[in-house]
Amino acid sequence: MNQQILLLMVPVSYLIGSIPVGLIIGKLKAGIDIRKHGSQSTGATNALRILGTKSAILVLILDFLKGAIPIFYLMLIEDINSNNAILIAICGIAIIFGHNWPIFAGFKGGKGVASAVGIATVLNPLSALAAILTFLPILFITRYVSLGSILGAITAMIILVVQSISVINDYNYLYALIVGPLLVVKHHENIGRLLKGNENKFGEKL
């Protein structure tokens, strides 16, 4: 794949990220716009509250694959040199921007966690594993999905940065330094509720 085609993959990645999985499943299953219910997010947590467990699992898997498959494809076919590695990192960022601000859904999407984990799984499996191993105990102890997601994302991004800055042709840190803070910012309302002590816990209805 030449440089021009790879550059084209940046907007394509945004369009893939823009596929509003939660919105589509909400329409198909219940005929509703999931963004008008619950936390008004298209993510798996809101899908769980509004649409049920099976739909939430499907949203989670598809959002994960929406991040993982494009990056896996690019890394599989590319001889990763410096310029290509930068563009692959940018494609990852574009996927998250698409998920959070989807052109196919009025620029109102989710928070990007599942897609970010999918991307991290391909870029650096250790970072994704660390995110999951951070998320699950926090969820189990506190029952706050948002807190687990925030701390899991921070853990993954720290690992991406630490492991990539000393490796030639590895620009994962570029992805991490943009997506990590973005995931935290997208949870700003959750952070506010956590500080006030009125954040919804896992399994609770809004």
Q: Which tens digit of pLDDT belongs to each residue from 90-117? A: 999 999 999 999 999 999 999 999 999 9
Q: Domain residue spans in the chain?
A: 3-196
Interatomic CA distance for residues 58 and 105, integer angstroms: 19
Predicted local confidence at residue 7, as pLDDT: 76
H/E stretch holding 152 reads helix 145-164
Q: Which residue type occupies 168? A: I
State the pLDDT confidence band at 171, using cuts at 50, 70 and 90.
Answer: confident
Q: Which residue type occupies 39? A: S
- DSSP symbol at 197: T
State the pLDDT confidence band at 71, using cuts at 50, 70 and 90.
Answer: very high
Predicted local confidence at residue 205, as pLDDT: 60
Give this prediction's pTM.
0.91
Contact 113, 153 (CB under 8 A): yes
Q: Own/partner pairs for 147-152, CB < 8 Å, 24+ apart?
A: 147/190, 147/194, 147/199, 149/111, 149/113, 149/183, 149/187, 150/183, 150/184, 150/187, 150/190, 150/191, 152/113, 152/117
Instruction: Give the residue from 172, 129, 135 showing the smallest Cα distance to 150.
Output: 135
Contact 141, 125 (CB under 8 A): no
Give the chain's length: 206
145-163 pLDDT, tens digit each: 999 999 998 999 999 999 8
